Each structure stands twice: as structure tokens, then as C-alpha cells.
Structure 1
């Protein structure tokens, strides 16, 4: 186990990252407008049609059980797409039509969600909201236009299946990138659970200390046995080969189910170029923190020959950091050098989107004030305004509205909140997932109601979601 000083993270770091109290001020305030009560008897608006054009790329993904080996001395049974963990990288050009046929060879139902891509509602992959789950032995085809460009990922949206390994990266390439780079690597950061995931109320996640229990943020976490980069434990790190003078783009994806990660690359500064796939004005940092579901693209200039560690520490756990290696072709033998302590960490207020979000300006047409909290009583329950999904009111909106959601987190635990089907503005950034800090942390998001249907809005900590921290955003007229 690494010495405690290796962990660069603390609640203070997190508050600095998010600017917890300032984001609401940046977004402005208005009086409360009617929310779920308004339009409760309104007619539901039909979602936009799915793509009927011939696909540019067709892919088959079979979900099945299999064995993985994250290190030479470690193996376990996992669920995988196409026998791979993480699942196969899907890479298409912006604007291409992608068709993915899912075959379910598991013994229970499943779906695929295209995290961050504002697809048409019927192919969003949320069971019993946008589609019937795919039964064991059945198939389902998802067809959508891959836009806008960005770093995304796909995963099951049924129960706790994400923490069994059903995930993979989805890369939609720009036709004209706003930054120059010579080549790129995708870096999927994850938490490693060798057994079947369970909620604490079902007998899972008992005890404290390593992996389970309280962790730094006071939450109950699964008994993780390690942290992964691209499916590998730190004793079996992947090597990213670089040549001096190159500019390398790293696409970082937090595919973890219950872990907030802090990322550093030893010996190198990172220039953040994209947040959740959306381009931002380049900003130089030596570290960044991201919650489950968030993505950051960074460009690194290869000007410091040697062998260097890419390190992802857990904010909310005590596992050794996930690791990979950046190795110059001129490097000799030797262990990779570890990162220095963080001194210039990315904050949300550093992020400035290249282009504005259409339909979001001035005062909102509709505002929701939502409280995130732990449910009362002995059961493991997480709520939004005291209601636990699926026994929760929908948030009803009308097409074309500028919608504002103001969140206050009454729990001591961070919540990475994700909105399906839309990007939102937070401060000067455009994202689809945002960390809401604990201890009365506040974050405000604004979005344009331009994608009719039923959309899930939820915490991307898988266990908080499964224990009720979700609502359906429903279009009515």
C-alpha cells in the first residue's frame, strides 16, 4: 500500500475543484418556477425518430460471462462484451451512423447506454424508461448518429452490471480538432470488484478499511481489490510508448462504479482540451479530479525522456493507485518515476467551452431546486428531495425551455450527477456529468430542452443510483 502522502486528494481539494458555492453564483439565480406539478396532466411529447439511414459502421457486441486476468497472479469471472475487458473500443467519425447489435448471452436481462451521447430517446438504453430490457438469449439493435465528436463510453444500465465489467470506450473523432497532436491513447480508469456486486442492504459492502467501509469521504464502498487502468492492476501496468518531441493526446474515462479519481502524469504537465467530450480553451494543470462518468482529454508534450508513471488515486478509498507507464523509446531499464504532489489542480472554473450551448441564456423558463441526501432509516437508500427512484415524481419540462437545476448535497458524500440525452452548462463549461460536493455543496446546471422523451437524471455512483438517487426528466405539452 502506498504511503498516505501519495494520495493527492482531500475534501478541501474537491471543494476547490468544484468551486462548490461559486457555481451557483456563476449560473445566476431566479425565483422558483413550477416544476413537476406544472403540466402533470400534460400530454407526453413523442421522442424524435431514430436514424433510418444505412449505417456507416456496424458492430456486434455479445454480453457474456468469461474470465479476466488483470495481473499475472489474479483472475476472476467477469461479464464482458466480446470477451474483452474493458469492452472493444468503438471508434467512428463525427456524423457517422453507428449500428450496434447487442446479443445477450447472460442469464439475466441487460441493455447498453451510450454515456454522454445525446441519442434519440428509444436507443438510450435505460430499462423500463426508454426500452424494455433485452432478455437472456435475445438481441437488440441500437442505431444512432454519432455526434458531436468526443470521448464517451458505453455500459450496461441494468442494476449493478456496470461493476461486473460491462463497459467500453466510444470515441467519436473530430473532423477538425481544435488542438494539434501526433497520436493518442484511451485511458479507462476503473475500480476492480472480483465478486458479484451487492447493495449494503443485500448484505454487500460490509466492513471498513481496505476497499470497503468508510473511506476518506465517509461512504460505504464495495470491497474493491484494486484500481485499474485499461483493465490492468498496477502490478501489471500498460505501457504507452512515446517519442521525444511528440504531442500525445490522452482520453481519460472514469468508468468506475463508486470511485472519484485524481490523475497525475509524472514528469509532465497536462493541457486539458476537452471536458466530457466537449472542447474547452486549453488549460495547463498538473492534476485533475474526476467522478464516475466524467471524461477529460489532455495533451502532453513529450519533452522529458525517461520512464514515467500515470497514476490515478482514489479520493474515497485506500487502494493502491491505478497505474500505467509513459515510456520514451530512448529510455533505459528502470522503474517508472512517480508523480510529485499536485500543486496546480484543475478546477471547474478553469474550464471555458469553445462554443456556447444553444438555447441557454438569460433567465430560465423552469427551475428545479433539488436536495441530494441519504434516506432516513436503517435501509441503504439515497434520495432526491426525499424520494427514492423508481417511486419518485418525474421532473416535467416543455420542449424549447431553458431549464435550470440547482442541487444542494445534504450528505457528506460526493455525487457525480449525470443527465441523459443532453449537455448542460455549469459555470463556463459544457458537460454531461458534474460532481456535487458533500456537506451542503451546491451546483447549478442549465440545459436546453431540445431532445424530447423520458431521460434519466441520476448519480453515477452506481450504488447510489441503484439505491434510489435518480429522477426521470419527462417532456410534456
Structure 2
């Protein structure tokens, strides 16, 4: 009998071992994603878009920590595409940046992604090909813990939508049009300045060569949560706690989050857990994620969780609960002239920030708060002074050189945590508790391995005039990859020397956002760097191989070149990109592209216009002035040139000028030389410099030694749609004119020209 038992054990032992192996093996979770071109109609107009599995956004992908994800992407569209798994720690070739880490997915092909899930939390996925994300290619990627608490949870995936083709949006931004400001009612024109008592503010603003104040670049037709303006969640009862996974999947919009049921407890950011911190509201940067837990205070009431675009132009809502709706009061329009006045005080005539002795970091001092109507007027100055004095962060100079990191908090109550400090402000003074990065604390230590740091200094720089965005005044294609060694500690000191927020995202890694909690500083993969801030992030180069993108996640900033590429030394060849040099050229081509613009007048006295082609640094243009008779004559000029300085106020060019006008008189110019304004065929060299008030000064000399100096001011905003312009040169040619903007491309126009006389008609602006 004993022998039979031994035989039975021997027979069943392999089966027991196999069962144990299968029980502990990683679960494979599979999805098939089908990418198709489609039409959508959100505003009464059919518009081209890109759908995943027939929907925008794409389907929510749910996994459990420890799973192996297998995702087959079927590209049934007419163009190549890609999918990037935002925030995930995965093998380099699975990261999904076409031509940098992963092969692009060609039309009518299938690409399989396969990677283990080493983390849990709230993430998302989106196309990293050109501007496809703006057209609908994004979705939620949720990784659950194995022992996740069983409470109701929902995804709130935020997005922005424009009926306009994204490529036309991008071209328009480079054109320097303010059509989107017209749509928003945010031109801050001279007429409005006069009425509101800010005429001096406007004069100073243009003297310093700054355009009208805005907090976002694009006018959007709709804002969505999970693809709809409002979504209702039923079946909740009084006392229920609900986890909402909030993802900002927009292309370029920040959102304010407010909850009608009271405080929100922030419990995670970018997928990483933080100690719960209760706030009244917070702003979520482009591509960030936050997990919040909210409570349903009473039954038979539906509470609004509202996401409002930072420019206050629209919102989307999630309704939690059943019954009568408890709404959030809409956020009021921004006081742009207050923001303009603040900006005037902080910027130099050269377009740089003044050294005002303030060390701002971690979102603790929101410079835009002067524009927020929800803050009482009498509190705005006090609000800034408190934040500057009570929450001042000093970074020891040693830290900037990569040695010791020293954080010194000078708070009114030094033994008080940032959270307690804000709560007391709220209780005692009735202030809103607004989340900032200094309030986030990791539940576990996040210190890096005990080894030296290599420090990199990144200055975020930009040029709103021509919409060029850079790091250290260079685009991605203008710099080499940043080589890093596997296992080394990297510290990045990021200073924002622009008046725009920049959500900087690091692929494939978490970094520490160094704050008051030191060893417990929070982990994130996106940091929203506000204007005039300096923030410090740290990460360990633990992924061992490959190229990893670090870039601004505002889509149009990234495409203009705001980023860098980290590259591990001695990385093995990427089998998906056998021709590495050719692939890298395609990556660099993104910020080297040329954009076409045109400005053409068709009036009763003639036609004048310009067609221009330009990229980050170079330009080529063709100009003409054509009268309808011999006395008016005609002129055509062509130039090629290059912008020289960081703000691109200075440029040089060479070209030719052909001019003919019937005249029997020989005239001299301002310099005593014989004027060639009636007849010339010359090659010339010139330099253009933009003076205060955006007066363009053009000094040129032709091959005969003749000199001409010309002053031009275009697009003086008298009202939102009525614009003035004029020019004069040392050949005593001049013109003045006006336009009334009807649509993005068409205007009524009138002007007087010293050669062509008075005329009126229409103008086409592209």
C-alpha cells in the first residue's frame, strides 16, 4: 500500500508543479486596436478625425499589475501612425515614438506591442505621429493593483477639440495670427484698453515688444470628458467614496478641476501614489494624471465634477450620483489687462524676465492669479505676498553644480507642513485650497542610489512672435543627443524663461520632483513648469539602453522643437530601426519644416502683397506692389534670410529688387543719393530689426551702394477686428491703411499709397 502511495505521488508531482507554475505565471492581457479615418460632427459640421475601434477617445484598456500586455494595432487608415504608452516603464523599442524608439505603423499593417507591466496606476496612450493626437488618437490605460480597495471608480479623460485641421492650426500659430484671440474675445486692443483705463498698460506692453496676454494658444470648439461634454454616473448613494482617475489627454489645454460635493483628496499623480491631500481645486497640466477620491455627501443629489479650460472658454463635467443636480458656479473670464500689467513689470524690453530676487518653484506662486476673478481684488496683492514670503524656496548654489542638494523652507510657521499651512489659510481666511507640487508627499522613500549626480541646466525659452519653442534656445534638431550612462543619477534644473506654462514629460522613467519632503519627494513623469519658475527633478538612469524623449507635451510646442533626447551610451542596435541615421533625420524633420503664409490685397488702386516661406531660423519671401497704370508702376522684391538672435528680433537677408514707375523727375533720397524709387534692377543686402512697439526697421544697401531705410508697423489693434498699419522709407515712399477682419482669411481693406493713391477692396490673409 505504501509503495502504491509513493507511485501516486511521483505520478501527480509533475502535475502539481505545473499547476503551481501556471498559477504564478504572468497573465497575458490582450487587446486589438483598429485605427481608422472617420468623420465626426460635434458642432453641426462634418470634420475628418481618427478613431480607435470606432470611437473617440479610444477604448479604455484595463490591466492588473504584473500582467503582460499584448496589444495589436491594426492601421486601417490611409497614413502611417504610432501609439505611445504614456508614463509606462517598458522596453525602449516598445515606447512607441516613431523613428526614435519604434518603427512607424504603415497603412494596412499590424504592429504588435508586448511588454510586462511593472507598475500600477492611471496612464494613457496616444499617437506620437505628427498631430494625430489632436484628431482623436488617444485613450485611457489603467493598471490596477492586485489588492486594490473595492470602491467605485471612474475614468475622466479630458480633451480639447477643434473643427479646424490641426495642420492649419499649427501653420496659423507660426503665422503670428491673433484670430484665436479674436474668437476668444482676448485681443486686448487699444480701444478696449482705453475703455478699461489700461491705455498706458497697452503702450508699455507693446513698447516691450510683447503681444497680448493669453494663457493658451488655440481656440477650441469643444472640451470633452470621455468624448462628451457631460457624463452622468448613477447608482451612488450618500457616504460613498468614489475614485476618479483624471487624465488630461488634451493637445494643448490645461484644466481647472472643481467638485460641487466639497473637498477632493488627491491620492496619486502620474500613476504614482501620494499621501492623501485635500484641496478645493487644482489645475491639471497637459498629459498629467491625478487620482482623486471624492465623497457623495447626500443621496438624491448629483454632484458636478467640472473641468474648466484654463482660458475659461469652456468646460466638461462628470456628474456623480442621482437626483437634483448640484452645479459648480462657472469660472469667470480672466482679467487680461491685470495679467498684462504684471507681465510689463516682470519683463525687459529685450523680452527676458527681470531678476526680481524671487525664487519661485513648485507652482506655489501662480503669476496668473492676478487675472482670476474668483480671488477678491483686495486679496490679490496679499495672496502674492504671502506666497512669496511664506513659501519661499531657496536652492543652494551647490545644488546647481551637481553637489549637495539643500532645500530651505522659509514659512511663517516653520513646523507646519504645506498641507496644514494651506488648510489653516482656508479656515482662517476663507481662501481656496489650491494644490501645488510642494503639497505632494510620496508614501515611501524615493531617494536615488548613493552615488554622485550629474546636473543639467535646462532653460525653457520661446518666441511667441513666430511660435518657436526651445530648450536653451535650441530646438531638438539643433542639438546632439544627451548621452547618459546606465545607473548614473541625473539632476535637471529647469528654469522657465517664458510667459507660458510648459508640461515637460520624460519617457520611460519616473523622476523625483524635489520639494519640502526631501526623501519623500513625489514621483512623476510630467512636471508643469510655470512662468518664471525654477524646479529641480532627479532620476536614476535605470532603463539601461535606448533613446528616450524629454519634451513639452503641449503638442504644438513639441512639434516646434521644445525638447531633448536622452541616449544611453553603448546601447545595442534597435531591431525596429535598422537604419538609425535615416530614422533620426525623420525625427529632426519635425522642427525643421517650413510653413507658408501670404498677405494679399486686392483694391481699387492696385494690388500689394507678400508670400512667405519660413521655418525656425530661415525665411524666403516674395513681395509685390502693382498699380493699374504706368504712373503707379510696379515693384517686386525677393529675399532669402535668416533670424539671428534668440528672440528673433534681428534678421539678415539678401535678394533682388525690380522697380519701374513712369516719371520724368530725378529725385534724391534722405541720404542725398539719387533715388531709385522710379527705376531700379538691383541686388541688395539688408538687416531687419524689430524696435519697440513692433516697428520693423529694414536697412539695406544695393550693389550700386544706394542705401534705403524703411520703417513698418503692421496690425495695430484699434479694436478686436479693426487694424491699422503703415510704412515710410528714406526714398520718401509711404503708405497707411486699415483692415476690418471678417473671417480668418478675409478682410475689408483700404489704404493710401504715395504711388498708387487711395483705394479700397478686400485682403486675403493666409
Taking structure 1 as the reference length, what is the TM-score of the superposition?
A: 0.81
Deviations 1:152-182 (A, max 9, x none): 00000011111111000000001234xx452
Determine the C-alpha separation between the residues in 2 that align with 1:191 and 1:464: 16
1:55-454 map, 5 Å: 56-68=28-40, 70=42, 76-177=47-148, 180=149, 182-198=151-167, 202-203=171-172, 207=179, 208-210=181-183, 218=214, 221-233=217-229, 237-241=230-234, 242-305=236-299, 306-315=301-310, 317-328=311-322, 331=323, 334-339=324-329, 343-357=432-446, 359=448, 364-375=452-463, 379-426=466-513, 427=515, 428-438=521-531, 440-451=532-543, 452-454=545-547
Report deviation, 1:335.
4.5
Deviations 1:383-416 (A, max 9, x none): 1111112332212111101101111111100000
Determine the C-alpha separation between the residues in 1 that align with 2:317 and 2:283: 15
How many correspondences in the alignment? 411
Determine the C-alpha separation between the residues in 1 that align with 2:237 and 2:502: 39
Contact kept in structure 1, 2:303 and 2:320, CA below 8 Å: yes
Determine the C-alpha separation between the residues in 2 that align with 1:245 and 1:218: 41
CA RMSD, 1 decimal? 2.4
| Greater Cα shift, 389-398 or 95-104 | 389-398
Report deviation, 1:360.
5.0
SS in 2 for 1:238: strand
Contact kept in structure 1, 2:257 and 2:307, CA below 8 Å: yes
Deviations 1:283-327 (A, max 9, x none): 111111110110000111222331222111112x24222222122
| Greater Cα shift, 408-417 or 54-63 | 54-63
Aligned to 1:34: none
Structure 2: tracts of 5 or more residues without a match: 1-24, 189-211, 331-373, 375-430, 516-520, 571-766
Determine the C-alpha separation between the residues in 1 that align with 2:131 and 2:453: 36
Deviations 1:341-375 (A, max 9, x none): 681111111110122336356x7421100111115
Aligned to 1:40: none
Report deviation, 1:61.
0.6
Deviations 1:44-87 (A, max 9, x none): xxxxxxxxx9861111111111234558x676432111111110
Alignment CA distance shift 1:214-1:247 (3 Å)? farther
SS in 2 for 1:466: helix
| Greater Cα shift, 287-296 or 305-314 | 305-314
Contact kept in structure 1, 2:26 and 2:66, CA below 8 Å: no
Determine the C-alpha separation between the residues in 2 that align with 1:346 and 1:367: 28
Alignment CA distance shift 1:211-1:156 (3 Å)? farther
Structure 1: tracts of 5 or more residues without a match: 1-52
Determine the C-alpha separation between the residues in 2 that align with 1:201 and 1:312: 25
Q: Which structure's CA Rg is the greater one?
A: 2
Contact kept in structure 2, 1:228 and 1:322, CA below 8 Å: yes
Determine the C-alpha separation between the residues in 1 that align with 2:51 and 2:223: 18
Contact kept in structure 2, 1:409 and 1:441, CA below 8 Å: yes
SS in 2 for 1:344: coil
Determine the C-alpha separation between the residues in 2 that align with 1:191 and 1:219: 15
Determine the C-alpha separation between the residues in 1 that align with 2:443 and 2:47: 43
Taking structure 2 as the reference length, what is the TM-score of the superposition?
A: 0.51
The structure with the largest helix share of the pair is 2
